[in-house]
Structure 1
Amino acid sequence: MRIAVLDDYQNAAHRFADWNTLDAEVVFFNEHVSSTNTLLERLRGFDTLVAMRERTAFTAERLAGLSDLRLLVTTGRANAAIDLEAASRHGITVCGTDSVPHATPELTWGLILALVRRIPQEAAGMRQGGWQHTVGGDLHGRTLGIVGMGRLGARVSAIAGAFGMRVLAWSTNLDPDHARGCGAEPVSKQQLFSDSDIVTLHYKLSERSRGIVSRRELAWMKPTAYLVNTSRGPLVDTPELIAALGQGRIAGAGLDVYDTEPLPADHPLRMLPNAVLTPHLGYVTEETYEVFYRQVVENIAAYRAGAPIRVLTA
């Protein structure tokens, strides 16, 4: 058995599980490969691949070209970048792992605080010898709008209560009683975007939700409001967001996810002073990686024993 662990950006995967128990050749790849031809050449001869979330897409074309592949393990319970139907056609077993529910909500609040209190600007000023260049905002008494009240949105709502914020919630199929139980007021989409001082997205990406924040929603927002996205980049119409930020139609944005990842070095978002950007860190924590890679090893061992576990199906 030859195992390839992909997109190990931090050179960290080896220390979060005991890979030696697999008695197999394990190769850790640190850099991302976007070219399909290069990827297929690199992965020739590997019968087991480990994908870190959606960093590398496994399309029908790519899966057809991976003739040696028998087991594909992704971190997390769902991976929109894997064509599960194509994997099944090619006899490839796909397994997932559990994850921790608190990591992304915690980063969400890191982005909110960074935006409202101007932390990146002031930290940069300190390194340049400066002192107090901005006046920050407040969270207490302000309104937080949560788009999507699943397990992550509910955690964000609970923390908002500790800051003394009013919380609004909207989603296409929102259960009003569930929202109220999470401390949020169910409202219409327009009211959420219009009334909120901060709008944060916690929504599953699908063809229906793609572009759920478009020119219209951005126009509804106050010029003093902020948009935060730690879910998926395509939920937002990125060109419209760039225009809104550049023209000062909203105060700023905190983004952890993008249409293309890694975000190109010359991407316009990188040039905007009112955008706080992080490189998809929502799940990148010690505890999350411990769960991910420990269960990856368990999945591989179970597959080798003829009894696959945590199998994902289309």
Structure 2
Amino acid sequence: MTLRCAVLDDYQCVALSVADWSSLKDEVEVVTFHEHLATEEERALALADFDIVVTLRERVAFPASLLARLPRLRLLVASGMRNSVIDFDAAKRQGIAVCGTTSSSTAPVELTWALLLGLARGIVPESQALRGGGRWQTGLGADLYGRRLGLLGLGKIGSRVAQVGLAFGMEVLAWSQNLTQARAEEVGVGRAASKEELLGCCDFVSIHLALGDRTRGLVGADEFTLMRSSSYLVNTSRAAIVDQGALLHALHTGAIAGAAVDVFDIEPLPAGHPMRTAPRLLATPHLGYVSRANYESYYGQAVENIVAFLAGSPLRRLG
């Protein structure tokens, strides 16, 4: 019997072209979904007849309630090697193998700097004015050299962002609950004594933390009052680390000079969502890991995982 494989959230319609799926053609029918399945009901109905599901990172939650409605599901492949929205215990009870894929931190590091630079130099409004025949030079860009970059998180991505900041001649300061002085010195940056100190003294703040109980809502209304009116916030990590209502208020009132975000509480972002029209905001549709090299790795390893599963030896098990 031919198995059925669903590939979710293939927004760009590239999943089948960036990897070689031919090794599965005799055993697996692959179906791609180009529109997001927004609700559990939609997912249950759409995926009920699939044996394998390939999902991108943490875009789609697979709680026990959904897994129970997918009686045929035997393999769930998620990009990345960490996932907080899959109920691994429920999957195990149901006999569902959950596997991941490796990924590179290069793409999110590059996007972080694309957003920070675009925000600092007003690239989007200047380009729009130019293309629309408007004013020639509409604002003054913010300098990086000699300014202070604050990093919330100094892990794999944060440390690489730090190196770029140092190359720009910035003073780099970092903080997280677990950051040690030894780790800060290893990367070559300063260590803030507290989150409050970092927010209050930095010109640019970039977030590079995993989402968890200690980081959810880490930056809220109180934190925005600590930041300078000339400072900028960049979030390419997880939306829930920043209180979205507090961020919108800070942008509308001018409490901060601007923000750049790649992540949102609701994804895809609804057409009328206030984040689409907020002032002082540079926003991108969760492009952090969306690069050709990463997609080639994701989908190529997804195929490897499926082949290994069919052979009875699943690769890269999660949970």
Q: TM-score if structure 1 supplies the norm length?
A: 0.98
Aligned-partner residue type, residue 242 of structure 1: L
Aligned to 1:183: 188
Deviations 1:127-172 (A, max 9, x none): 1013211111110000000000001000000000110000000000
Equivalent runs, 1:270-281 vs 2, <5 Å: 270-281=276-287
3-state SS, counterpart of residue 96 of structure 1:
strand
Equivalent runs, 1:113-152 vs 2, <5 Å: 113-130=117-134, 131-152=136-157
Deviation at 1:177, TM superposition (A): 1.2
- Correspondence for 1:99 among 100, 103, 112: 103
- Correspondence for 1:205 among 211, 228, 242: 211
3-state SS, counterpart of residue 53 of structure 1:
coil
Instruction: Judge conservation of contact 2:100–2:317 (CA < 8 Å) in 1.
Output: yes
Instruction: Judge conservation of contact 2:77–2:100 (CA < 8 Å) in 1.
Output: yes
Equivalent runs, 1:156-171 vs 2, <5 Å: 156-171=161-176
Aligned to 1:154: 159
- Correspondence for 2:237 among 221, 231, 242: 231
79-88 vs 66-75, greater mean Cα deviation:
79-88
- Correspondence for 1:25 among 26, 29, 45: 29
How far apart are the structure 2 equivalents of 1:181 and 1:87? 40
How far apart are the structure 1 equivalents of 2:179 and 2:293? 30
How far apart are the structure 1 equivalents of 2:267 and 2:6? 20
Instruction: Give the 4+ runs in structure 1 shifted more than 6 A.
Output: none
Equivalent runs, 1:263-302 vs 2, <5 Å: 263-302=269-308
Aligned CA-pair RMSD: 0.9
- Correspondence for 1:242 among 216, 238, 248: 248
Deviation at 1:212, TM superposition (A): 0.6
Aligned-partner residue type, residue 138 of structure 1: D
Deviation at 1:216, TM superposition (A): 1.6
Deviation at 1:259, TM superposition (A): 1.1
Aligned to 1:83: 87
Number of residue pairs matched by the alignment: 313
Deviations 1:215-271 (A, max 9, x none): 121111000000100000000011011111110001110000011111121111111
How far apart are the structure 1 equivalents of 2:180 and 2:23? 46
- Correspondence for 2:10 among 8, 11, 32: 8
Deviation at 1:180, TM superposition (A): 1.7
Query: Runs of 5+ in structure 1 lacking a partner?
Result: none
3-state SS, counterpart of residue 113 of structure 1:
helix
How far apart are the structure 2 equivalents of 1:267 and 1:120? 20
- Correspondence for 2:49 among 45, 52, 61: 45
Q: Is the aligned partner of 1:34 residue 2:18?
A: no
Q: TM-score if structure 2 supplies the norm length?
A: 0.96
3-state SS, counterpart of residue 212 of structure 2:
coil
Deviation at 1:110, TM superposition (A): 0.6
Deviation at 1:35, TM superposition (A): 2.4
3-state SS, counterpart of residue 15 of structure 1:
coil
Deviation at 1:55, TM superposition (A): 1.7
Instruction: Judge conservation of contact 2:48–2:69 (CA < 8 Å) in 1.
Output: no
How far apart are the structure 2 equivalents of 1:40 and 1:132? 52
How far apart are the structure 2 equivalents of 1:302 and 1:3? 14
The percentage of aligned residue pairs carrying the same residue is 50
3-state SS, counterpart of residue 65 of structure 1:
coil
- Correspondence for 1:62 among 53, 61, 66: 66
